Amino acid sequence: MKLIAGNSNRRLVEAISKRLATTPARAEIKTFKDGEVFVEIQENVRGEDVFVIQSTSYPANDNLMELLITMDALSRASASRITAVIPYFGYARQDRKAGPRTPISAKLVANLITSAGADRVLTVDLHAGQIQGFFDIPTDNLYAVKEFERRIREINNNDLSSVTVVSPDVGGVVRARALAKKLEDRPLAIVDKRREGPGLSEVMNIIGDVDGRDCVIFDDIVDSGGTLCNAAEALMAEGAKSVTACVTHGVLSDHAERRVMKSDALCRLIITDSIETRKEVAECPKIEEVSIATLLAEAIRRIANEESVSSLFD
């Protein structure tokens, strides 16, 4: 087994390597002045089981090309199996035709990854589970729910009597229910959001009782943070005692950390290290990080040893 580290999230690769008691294979991945990506694998990988770890986060296209070209280099170097480990699959939100004459970019990217030489894909909390079907190769979609469960228990000193799990939209109910089940079948609430018209702010209604409850919003992606902060305000307006958000992928674009910091309703945002955090995000006192390195390391170990990974989906 060999690990290849892309440039998108070196810190996560180091943590995974430490848990597997190994070091990433030597490889040079650089960008020429005109933007072209160059990859050279600097040790023998013939017949090896290789795992390329690369999130397609910002800059999404550069990181995607690094992943594709690295896998092509490994394929031409006669690696026996190539697994694309993509902690954050960046094009997952473009999973359907949202309007006329629009692409399904998630399917296009899945085709590119397969064509580049991937034999298997390992990812975490896809925006939509059906994206697994876009790949014509085995695809494992892991869940970070256990990491969030541990942190919520720590915050509440293992007293979950006042906790209510909140889905930020109707489409996220299954994800939120999974966390609620882990937290001793806590009650579930849903944020019903809609826009009154183009350019007008979202109107939010709360389905479920949140009065006097410690609410935990559970979602897969936080981008600009505006909708998340609005949801927290709506929950507080309905009488919630506190609002904590657990979000797997902290994209946090457009100075989202400032919105989180300024929000009086949102007391805490917990993200994972699927995306390497910027300095400004790391320094925000309201944002904390839990690691998925152990989860990914265990999945990689089991795949390499041809063991079952199904228990990691629970």
Q: Which residues are identified as catalytic?
A: 193
Was 208 annotated as part of a binding site?
A: no
Domains 2-143+294-313 and 145-291 share a fold: yes
Rama region for 280: left / alpha / beta (φ>0; ψ in -120 to 50; rest): alpha
With a CB cutoff of 8 Å and minimum separation 6, the contacts of 163 are 152, 156, 183, 186, 213, 214, 215, 216
The pLDDT value given to residue 311 = 82
Q: Are strands 202-207 and 188-195 parallel, antiparallel or unpaired?
A: antiparallel
- Which pLDDT does position 197 carry in this prediction? 58
Is 172 annotated as contributing to ligand binding?
A: no
- At residue 60, the pLDDT reads 95
- Identify the architecture of domain 2-143+294-313 in CATH: 3-Layer(aba) Sandwich (3.40)
Q: Where do the domains of the chain lie? A: 2-143+294-313, 145-291
Q: Is the pTM of this model over 0.85?
A: yes
Task: Please write the tens of the pLDDT for every residue from 74-115.
Answer: 999 999 999 999 999 999 999 999 889 999 999 999 999 999
Report whether CATH 3.40.50.970 matches the domain 145-291.
no
Those residues of the chain that have pLDDT short of 70 are 195-201, 203, 314
At 203 the pLDDT is 63
Query: Does 93 show up as a binding residue in the annotation?
Result: yes
pLDDT tens for 13-39 read 999 999 999 999 999 999 999 999 999
pLDDT, residue 9, reads: 96
What confidence score (pLDDT) does residue 8 get? 96
Cis peptide before 59 (omega within 30 of 0): yes
